[in-house]
Amino acid sequence: MIVIGGGLAGLAAGVALADAGWRVRLFEQRPFLGGRATSYVLPDGEHVDNCQHVTLGCCTNLEDFYRRVGASDKIRFFDRLLFLDPQGRRGEMKAGALPAPFHFAGSFASFAPLMLPDKLSIARAMLNIIRHAGSSPDLCEGDGLSMLEWLRRRGQTKRAINRFWRVVLVSALDEELGRTDARFGVDVFWKAFLSNSTGYRVGVPVVPLSSLYHGCKEEIERRGGEVVLRSPVRGLKLESGQLAGVRFDENREESADAYIFAIPHTALAELLPESLKRSDPSLAHLDKIKTSPITGVHFWFDRPVLDEPFVTLLDTTTQWIFNKTALYGGSGGDPKRATDSSEGTQYLQLVISASYDLLQKSREEIIDLCLAEVCHALPKARDAQLLKATVIKEAAATFSPEPGVDRWRPGQSTAIPGLFLAGDWTQTGWPATMEGAVRSGYLAAEALLRSSGAPKTFLRRDLAPDGFIQMWLGGKPASQRREF
């Protein structure tokens, strides 16, 4: 069988099928694996991630994938989130001794950037999510309800929206609240913050992203398969209207009994012939799935300016600051410097999701804006010298989770024999995340095996509810429980 695309979706499908005994041939157009969740070397020799990527404790399939490819020990989990506002107030989120859903009660009560009316309004909305076990009747309204409207209906204060809901959800979903389907927003809080006490833990790679995928090639090759880089698929070969192969440069063709296309929806829309789009109506609307941007800003300072592994800024353009030097154990991502932190420099990476306002700004404008915010938030940066800076704008970083987007997302099976789909944009129930991509790969592998008459399950269940939520859901009839 052939997999096209070596991002997380294609890798997850390929590794799962190899595990099921299939000979997998994976073709990737670029010279490295990992797709959007990868890292590369800049012309000046610096190894940078294509933006910081974080996972959460509730991402059970990504965790399973890392385990399969031997990368679990390259992810470090943190259970404390630190927030800084421009007035210098600090807020901390950390699970306390109380069982879910009250595990944040202590840190929420003392969270300085929010006032009492904000906290009361948030608590009311949280109770609403809990009462409906992560779902509520208005989430199924018409063409989808925006998160902003969902919050307004629940009387959220302006500060609660800007300093709490927006902060968490714009980072998690890469879209503004007014353009986000409330179903995704509510799900983030239910799965990561309310239904259990560990789903919120933030996992950050301690190596450059591309180092996470070394084990994938080995897994696929162990079963006689191959991973071929620098091999863009240029077209599909049809015979009697059926998919009979894929075309590469120089008229090279490859054929197999099944194909998983694990490329972005925009690339697939261009590759698919009109006749195939007509054979399966779910393939005819890929252009309706919009995209949203993320901007990463990389700063190298001549001295340490941040003591924490990462912080979240409130009321600023900059949303997260990651201390890459600390996360890499002092190596700044360069394996040669892994044991040598004596240079004393510090590499920070800033993330700005849904960065529509930055798309038109020049690199210099973005650096000036973010540097001023860093100096305001981190006093040590004011005396430090910025040695160099890089801006990476991803205009189409993820698909936009706008209200009703799910109706345009095709499943992993298609009406075309032998053609399967994977990618964070296919029907996974999840937004555009690494977890969503791995889920799609596992689902595509399951669909392929089902069609071959030898079904196998790869998809992992969601994190089990714990604390009072477990007791409460355990007492409900099965028809009223949500799938976990």
Name the site residues for ligand FAD (rule: CB under 6 A).
4-10, 27-30, 35-37, 50-51, 53-55, 232-233, 262-264, 267, 294, 296, 394, 397-398, 423-424, 432-437
Phi, psi of 77 (to 5 degrees): -100, 140
In angstroms, the first-to-last Cα distance of the chain is 31
Query: What minimum distance in Å lies between the beta carbon of 268 and ligand FAD?
Result: 8
What amino acid occupies position 419? L
Query: What minimum distance in Å lies between the beta carbon of 435 and ligand FAD?
Result: 6
Query: What minimum distance in Å lies between the beta carbon of 399 and ligand FAD?
Result: 8
Query: What minimum distance in Å lies between the beta carbon of 149 and ligand FAD?
Result: 25
Q: How many CA atoms lie within 13 A of 349 on its CB side?
A: 24
Question: Is the CB of 28 or the CB of 446 nearer to ligand FAD?
Answer: 28
Query: What minimum distance in Å lies between the beta carbon of 36 and ligand FAD?
Result: 4
Question: Is the CB of 8 or the CB of 95 nearer to ligand FAD?
Answer: 8
Question: Is the CB of 111 or the CB of 184 nearer to ligand FAD?
Answer: 184
Question: Is the CB of 37 or the CB of 313 nearer to ligand FAD?
Answer: 37
Whether 348 contacts 371, CB under 8 Å:
no
Query: What minimum distance in Å lies between the beta carbon of 18 and ligand FAD?
Result: 17
DSSP labels, 169-231: HHHHHSS-GGGSBHHHHHHHIIIIIIS-SSTT-EEEESS-GGGGGHHHHHHHHHTT-EEE-S-
Where do the DSSP E strands lie in 79-135?
80-84, 90-94
Question: Is the CB of 98 or the CB of 271 nearer to ligand FAD?
Answer: 271
Whether 350 contacts 318, CB under 8 Å:
yes
Instruction: Tell me how far apart the alpha carbons of residues 337 and 332 are, in angstroms, rounded to a whole number.
Output: 7
Question: Is the CB of 9 or the CB of 20 nearer to ligand FAD?
Answer: 9
Query: What minimum distance in Å lies between the beta carbon of 231 and ligand FAD?
Result: 6
Is residue 34 classed as helix, strand or coil in its secondary structure? coil
Query: What minimum distance in Å lies between the beta carbon of 366 and ligand FAD?
Result: 14
Question: Is the CB of 108 or the CB of 408 nearer to ligand FAD?
Answer: 408
| Number of Cβ atoms within 10 Å of the Cβ of 130 | 18
CA distances from 369 to 226, 362, 365, 372 (A): 46, 11, 6, 5
Residue located via tokens 């920070």: 348
For residue 248, give the nearest of 259, 257, 236, 258 by alpha carbon.
Answer: 236
Question: Is the CB of 316 or the CB of 412 nearer to ligand FAD?
Answer: 412
Query: What minimum distance in Å lies between the beta carbon of 87 and ligand FAD?
Result: 28
Query: What minimum distance in Å lies between the beta carbon of 363 and ligand FAD?
Result: 16
Question: Is the CB of 12 or the CB of 374 nearer to ligand FAD?
Answer: 12
Question: Is the CB of 4 or the CB of 18 nearer to ligand FAD?
Answer: 4
The long-range contacts involving 147-150, CB below 8 angstroms and separated by at least 24 positions, are 147/177, 147/178, 147/180, 147/181, 147/182, 147/184, 147/185, 147/186, 148/176, 148/177, 148/178, 148/180, 149/178, 149/182, 150/182, 150/185, 150/186
Question: Is the CB of 154 or the CB of 265 nearer to ligand FAD?
Answer: 265
Instruction: Tell me how far apart the alpha carbons of residues 52 and 247 are, in angstroms, rounded to a whole number.
Output: 34
Helix 214-222 vs helix 8-19: crossing angle, to nearest 10: 30
Whether 271 contacts 247, CB under 8 Å:
no
Query: What minimum distance in Å lies between the beta carbon of 31 and ligand FAD?
Result: 10
Instruction: Tell me how far apart the alpha carbons of residues 133 and 128 are, in angstroms, rounded to a whole number.
Output: 9
What amino acid occupies position 305? V
Query: What minimum distance in Å lies between the beta carbon of 127 and ligand FAD?
Result: 28
Instruction: Tell me how far apart the alpha carbons of residues 455 and 448 are, in angstroms, rounded to a whole number.
Output: 8
Question: Is the CB of 39 or the CB of 195 nearer to ligand FAD?
Answer: 39
Which residues 6+ apart lie within 8 Å of 105 measured at CB?
A: 96, 98
